[in-house]
Structure 1
């Protein structure tokens, strides 16, 4: 692999071509699908294929790997056939493309084939192929760019899931949406599949009870249930939820992480009287997260919150190998939070 493929990707050059949302893709002679989020890229590319096929059912679809490329393939697949069927060529792995592909793709931009749509998938994980991307973004070949930015933060996942239901013109209760996002906090692909399953299976509005029925057994949901009950001071319920989560196979590490995440949000919001919308924008949160944190802070003060955060840090170290008994570390953390008092050792 060329050494450039191992270097971190650089900031993309300013684009002169239309920027298109992955939720609203459209065909063009050249379509650059750039960014690390594969689920968004797959949706965009599938949408382009569906549009082309709806226009002409004789569409020829071909797949090419840019890192395992045979000279002449791109021109052969895009050249008109005897009957002039439209062609869609999907190219993956542009971020690790071979020199042969890079040379031929750059040359192709100067003379795109009529009736052909070439989709270039670049994850942005390297600077390999930058010459090609720069040429596309400069307008050579008459292309468009579909960006697929990483979905990392809670607010990003919330927006993604909300967009799934909006696109399907379906209503989901805010508390149900939050539960769903919490249930798939570590996997956007699974979150997307869960959204589509609910859209396909459930008639009418999607409620918290529906999400609980479908995905209540998820570890992440159990983690936030433990956190919510402990922070609310419901000691008995918190211990029952914790034991249920552990009995269901929950890993102590994400359980502690969920609790610590809620405590950190509470600490960031505590004492701030800004409007929720302004504060959320400044902190990189959603309005509902600020509102929830403010409700969670009822009955808490600076001393008890600091004690809980310290206990969460200790539990985090212990469940990651610092203690022989991670379950005891979890129970001690839940006790400190729910009782808002030091643990008697």
Structure 2
């Protein structure tokens, strides 16, 4: 560890940047990204030495002395990977042993500690890892909606597949609620189709899922097709969609329209100013042609009322979201 009074800033990296290190902290609530980090680390260590010994430890059920025994070199000096799960529930015994271990990590051993950050349990240990020279921290926090397009693009890049912005948007719209599902969907469509992945390819491959998402409902509302919007909405709800995220999808899209409505310059310039993609600005400007400033403001106010309604202010959330669809599609907002 660092000398007293000396602060060490260990690297904070993403899962795809993981490389072997004496001590690795995998921190954050997104278990899918944490699993990715652990898989990548193990693969890299196996490439270095196929004789790698892997041990798993549950920090929440730990007893005295086990860490030193597991991490110590074997008779034949094979490299070791020690994966510690459940750091958020670490026993006092594990914290004490790990703190001792950090004073002098074992050569040839990679110690990985997983902590989801949901409680401050083990804070002293976390601080110690973050002050250990040579350690790294892998950040595995849940991705926000704005992070999913870059994530999907990177997944396709790793699979060496070309995809259009519309295809990426369709995949994110359909599988935004679960990053593992999104990654699996991308992998499936990439492996099972040939040529560039286009929006039409995605919509054909995942027709049932894509066409009944909240964003498909929003698309029909913006197109002012009330009947199709209601059919799509009812299909979505019948197949398990919840009114709350449906209204959230309306809120996100219309906030985007409001941002773009006040932006000047070309699509690229506006995109840079707003932190958006060029195609998002271009599509928003096309959608704005069917709104006036007044109807856009009214729509945003109606969405706010609907959000309140589906979160408990009214007894029938489905009725509230249907009313919103009718109001916005007819532009009959008050």
- Residue 109 of structure 2 is matched in structure 1 by 116
Query: Is structure 2 residue 230 aligned with structure 1 residue 239?
Result: yes
Q: Is the 8 A contact 1:220 1:254 kept in 2?
A: no
Q: Does 1:266 align with 2:273?
A: no
Give 1:228 shift: 0.8
Call closer, same or farther: CA 1:135–1:320 in 2, change over 3 Å.
Answer: closer
Instruction: Select 1:143's aligned residue among 121, 135, 143.
Output: 135
Partner of 2:79: 86
1:49-88 to 2 correspondence within 5 Å?
49-88=42-81
Deviation at 1:247, TM superposition (A): 4.2
2:177 is matched with: 186
Residue 223 of structure 1, aligned match among 214, 219, 227 = 214
Deviation at 1:312, TM superposition (A): 2.1
1:205 aligns with 2:196: yes
1:341 paired to 2:310 = no
With over 3 angstroms needed to count, the CA separation of the structure-2 counterparts of 1:131 and 1:220, relative to structure 1, is farther
Q: How far did 1:42 drift?
A: 1.0
TM-score, normalization by structure 1: 0.85
Structure 1 residue 308, shift from structure 2 partner: 1.7
Residues 121 and 287 (structure 1), Cα distance of their counterparts in 2 relative to 1, 3 Å cut: farther
- Contact 1:229-1:235 at 8 Å conserved across structures: yes
Separation in 2 of the partners of 1:319 and 1:102? 45
SS at match of 1:117: strand
Supply the distance in 1 between the matched residues of 2:295 and 2:264 (Cα, whole angstroms): 20
User: C-alpha root-mean-square deviation of aligned residues, in Å?
Assistant: 2.6
Tell me the SS of whatever aligns to 1:295.
Answer: helix
In 2, Cα distance between equivalents of 1:192 and 1:230:
29
Q: CA 1:51/1:175 → structure 2, altered by over 3 Å: closer, same or farther?
A: same
* Cα offset, 1:262, TM superposition: 1.2
Q: What 5-or-longer segments of structure 1 have no aligned partner? A: 1-12
Deviation at 1:324, TM superposition (A): 4.9
Q: 1:238 and 1:116, CA in 2 relative to 1: closer, same or farther beyond 3 A?
A: same
Quote the offset at 1:221 in angstroms: 4.7
How many pairs were matched up? 329
Residue 289 (structure 2) aligns with: 298
SS of the residue 1:84 aligns to: coil
Shift of 1:177: 0.7
Shift of 1:319: 3.5
Matches of 1:342 and 1:138, distance apart in 2: 57
**Cα offset, 1:181, TM superposition:** 0.7
How far, CA to CA, are the matches of 1:340 and 1:117 in structure 2?
Answer: 61
Cα displacement (A) at 1:56: 2.2
1:35 corresponds in structure 2 to 28
Contact 1:91–1:121 (CA under 8 A) maintained in structure 2? yes
